[in-house]
A and B are shown apart, each in its own frame.
Chain A
Amino acid sequence: EAGVAQSPRYKIIEKRQSVAFWCNPISGHATLYWYQQILGQGPKLLIQFQNNGVVDDSQLPKDRFSAERLKGVDSTLKIQPAKLEDSAVYLCASSLVGDREGQSRTFGSGTRLTVV
């Protein structure tokens, strides 16, 4: 089966600019996650979608980050305006159903963002 696709692979922007990341989950996976992984740390959940509805966005900095999942398939994550501390790898993951006990995630390769 095809994996989770993400683009772009790398992005370098100046602070205060905007950036958007795209994710295409595994076909049929209802749940989609965006994670932020700062160098040397584990992934931190930013937002979780169940189909096209938001399940958990408690750790999303909503003043600058936004995400959508139109039609319950692809998703985009946007940062506007970017700050230096947003430099990280942004990982998209998907799973078959919601966050029930025993659900593992399939991750994409991520987008490495550098804000200068």
Chain B
Amino acid sequence: SQQGEEDPQALSIQEGENATMNCSYKTSINNLQWYRQNSGRGLVHLILIRSNEREKHSGRLRVTLDTSKKSSSLLITASRAADTASYFCATGHTGRRALTFGSGTRLQVQP
């Protein structure tokens, strides 16, 4: 079963707008990671946030983590057509070996 679930499943915005994707999970984590997947390609690691962190930035990306609500959000600011991709959250759990991926959010940025 998949631990992280992204919301929304699909998102369409105009270039220059901000895109926000959410991830909810069920059990305690020690880290949460976001990945991007362009159509027909492998996943690319974007950012990792640890369970004792609340917010992290990387370029136009901002990730927040609320462990009390078991949720995370990924914000892409000033989106570009090249940001069109699927975005997955993956959760790492104490005692488990494998990252568990959600079903992803498909982002379409219209030029």
**A interface with B by C-beta (< 8 Å):** 4, 33, 40-45, 48, 55-56, 91, 93, 99, 101-102, 104-110, 112
Contacts and interface: CB of A to CB of B under 8 A. Distances in A.
A56 to B, nearest CB: 4
B99 A102 contact: no
B101 A43 contact: yes
A92 to B, nearest CB: 8
User: Which 9 residue pairs are nearest across A and B when measured between Cβ atoms?
Assistant: A107-B42, A42-B101, A104-B45, A45-B98, A56-B97, A107-B43, A101-B30, A99-B97, A109-B42
A42 B98 contact: no
Interface string B86-111: 00101010000111011110000000
Interface of B: 2, 4, 30-31, 33, 35, 40-45, 48, 50, 88, 90, 92, 97-99, 101-104
29 contacts: A40-B103, A41-B103, A42-B2, A42-B4, A42-B88, A42-B103, A42-B104, A43-B43, A44-B2, A48-B98, A55-B97, A91-B42, A91-B43, A93-B42, A99-B92, A99-B98, A99-B99, A101-B31, A101-B50, A102-B48, A102-B50, A104-B45, A104-B48, A105-B45, A105-B99, A109-B40, A109-B42, A110-B42, A112-B40
A41 B2 contact: yes
A43 B100 CA distance: 8
Contacts of B88: 42-43
A116 B50 CA distance: 43
